[in-house]
Amino acid sequence: MDNINIIPFKKEHAHYIISNPMNDPAIQIAPQFKKYALFLEIPGMSFTAIKDGKIVVSGGIGILWDNVAEGWVLATNDIWKNPISIARHVKKKLDILTKTYKVKRLQTAVKADFVLGIKFAEWLGLKSEGLMKHYGPDGADYIRFAKIY
């Protein structure tokens, strides 16, 4: 057993993740962007994985309009203690959410220089749809990924 508990996401979980070392230096988020965590807490659509009493990863979806959702994932550096197991939990939970909410298109944005995030999106089954210049709140370039069900 991997002792990973999945609990409902709270905005404080994102604040914790953002305030601590994240899983890759390419995606360190400046503290002033904590305010965007308010929009991630959607009851029933977001989750947090806890391992050994620590927040490891949070994720979820937000419905944009009928059958279209934006997916997101934030991870701490602690993900590296059990990367495969935690990735499987995230994938399983996202699959459950997309089925529950009858999502036909799941999309996300991955920072263009976040190589690991790109690989993770592809592992989840999302395909690149192109580069979005000056997209993020930090002015960085992002790649739009999507999965059609």
- The ranges assigned to domains in the chain are 4-148
φ/ψ region of 115 (left if φ > 0, alpha if ψ in -120 to 50, else beta) reads alpha
Could you tell me which of 53, 46, 101, 51 has the C-alpha nearest to residue 74?
46
CATH class of residue range 4-148: alpha beta
pLDDT band at 26 (very low <50, low <70, confident <90, very high): low
Query: CB-based burial of residue 56 (10 Å sphere; 0-12 exposed, 13-18 middle, 19+ buried)?
Result: buried
Question: Of 12-26, 33-47, 134-148, which gets the smallest average pLDDT?
Answer: 12-26
Compute the distance between CA of residue 44 and CA of residue 67 in angstroms, rounded to an integer. Answer: 16
Three-state DSSP at 40 gives: coil
pLDDT per residue as tens digits for the range 85-128: 999 999 999 999 999 999 999 999 999 999 999 999 999 999 99
CB 62 within 8 A of CB 41: no
